[in-house]
């Protein structure tokens, strides 16, 4: 990544399909007369951990709902691995190598941790685990261990603490074998120790070749994890840069704390 790309800036430059593994150019999403995402452009580089951050209501989730195919953007273009994927449905994006976690957990409560992850490994047409053999269970076990759930393989989701549920969400997303994973609000409700543990899991995923985009409004939780931050407010970019630049950016301080230092 060049020095120029790391400097805090607010200009909304144009991006093309070869500018990153995931690129949005002039992305716009409207709901009736409300503009939720306002001609936003950004590029995610392969192998980085990008923090996509902003205050509550900034448009973070709407942006990535548009990028990942939950609903089509009103305008603009999305490129993934050099291909125009604008408006492609979410399940097709998963097949192309993009996964995401959700704030609202939806595991199968009657399945154990390892079985929940194993089910995510199964083909689309497979609605039960019938016929899934020992190889997939072994892989699911390895994924569970990677996200820090190796000691609770046989527990059900209801037995997990909040941090454990977040790890299970990560494990289920990893099971789809993504190249890029969007992690939605991972630090909400976590203690400082749990934030550190989850950060270590995500850094480990990056070391294994995954690109991560971490969407959150918790600046303090993110700044020790990410390589670069992209900050939005009211659906528009207000800053971009490395953690130190973002932390000291007056526009970011104003957006978060009315001008106080972060």
Residue 78 belongs to domain with CATH number: 3.40.50.300
Sheet containing strand 236-241, strands side by side: 98-100, 180-184, 211-216, 49-53, 228-233, 236-241
Question: Where does the pLDDT of residue 122 fall: very low under 50, low under 70, confident under 90, or very high at 90 and above?
Answer: low
**Residue span of the structural domain in which 139 resides:** 103-177
Say yes or no: 5 and 64 in one domain. yes
Residue 10 has pLDDT above 60, yes or no: no
- Tell whether the model's pLDDT for residue 68 goes beyond 70: yes
Same-domain status, 151 and 172:
yes
Identify the residue with better confidence: 262 or 183.
183
Same domain, 170 and 185: no
Same domain, 19 and 146: no
pLDDT at residue 258, rounded to an integer: 53
For residues 75 and 134, membership in a common domain is answered with no
DSSP per residue over 82-110, as a string? TEE-TT--HHHHHHHTEEE--SS----TT
pLDDT at 3: 38
pTM here is 0.85
Per-residue confidence (pLDDT) for residue 259, from 0 to 100 = 42
Q: pLDDT tens digits, residue range 42-55?
A: 999 999 999 998 88
Please write the tens of the pLDDT for every residue from 176-220: 889 999 998 888 888 889 899 999 999 999 998 999 999 887 777
| Confidence tier at 88 by pLDDT (50, 70, 90) | very high
Same domain, 77 and 198: yes
Percent of the chain's residues with pLDDT above 90? 59
pLDDT value of position 109: 84
- Arithmetic mean of pLDDT over the chain: 86
Backbone angles phi, psi at 244, to 5 degrees: -65, -40
Q: Which of 54, 49, 48, 32 is nearest to 40 (CA)?
A: 54
**pLDDT, position 114:** 93
Contact (Cβ atoms closer than 8 angstroms) between residue 171 and residue 181: no
CA dist 198 and 242 (Å) reads: 21
Q: Quote the number of domains for the chain.
A: 2
Average pLDDT score over residue span 171-177: 91
- 184 plus 173 within the same structural domain: no
Q: In sequence order, which ranges of the chain are alpha helices (DSSP H)?
A: 3-6, 60-67, 90-96, 113-121, 134-146, 162-174, 192-207, 219-223, 243-247, 250-257
The whole-angstrom separation of Cα 95 and Cα 193 is 34
> What is the token pair recorded at 8?
């805090």
């Amino acid at each position: 990544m060049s020095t120029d790309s790391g400097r805090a800036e607010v200009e909304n430059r144009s991006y093309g399909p070869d500018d990153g593994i995931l690129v949005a150019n002039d992305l716009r999403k409207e709901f009736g007369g409300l503009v939720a995402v306002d001609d936003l452009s950004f590029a995610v580089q392969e192998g980085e951990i990008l923090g996509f951050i902003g205050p509550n209501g900034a448009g973070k989730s709407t942006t990535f709902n548009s990028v990942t195919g939950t609903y089509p953007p009103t305008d603009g273009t999305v490129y993934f691995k050099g291909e125009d994927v604008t408006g492609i449905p979410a399940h097709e994006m998963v097949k192309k190598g993009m996964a995401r976690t959700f704030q609202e957990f939806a595991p199968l409560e009657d399945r154990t941790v390892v079985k929940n992850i194993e089910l995510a490994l199964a083909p689309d047409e497979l609605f039960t685990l019938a016929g899934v053999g020992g190889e997939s269970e072994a892989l699911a076990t390895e994924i569970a261990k990677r996200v820090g759930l190796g000691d609770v393989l046989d527990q059900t989701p209801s037995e997990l603490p909040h941090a454990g549920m977040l790890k299970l969400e990560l494990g289920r997303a990893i099971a789809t074998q993504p190249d890029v994973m969007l992690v939605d609000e991972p630090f909400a409700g976590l203690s400082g120790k749990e934030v550190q543990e989850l950060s270590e899991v995500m850094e480990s995923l990056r070391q294994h070749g995954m690109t991560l985009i971490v969407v959150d409004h918790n600046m303090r939780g993110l700044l020790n994890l990410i390589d670069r931050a992209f900050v939005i407010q009211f659906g528009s970019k207000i800053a971009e840069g490395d953690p130190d630049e973002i932390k000291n950016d007056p526009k970011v301080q104003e957006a978060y704390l009315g001008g106080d230092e972060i």
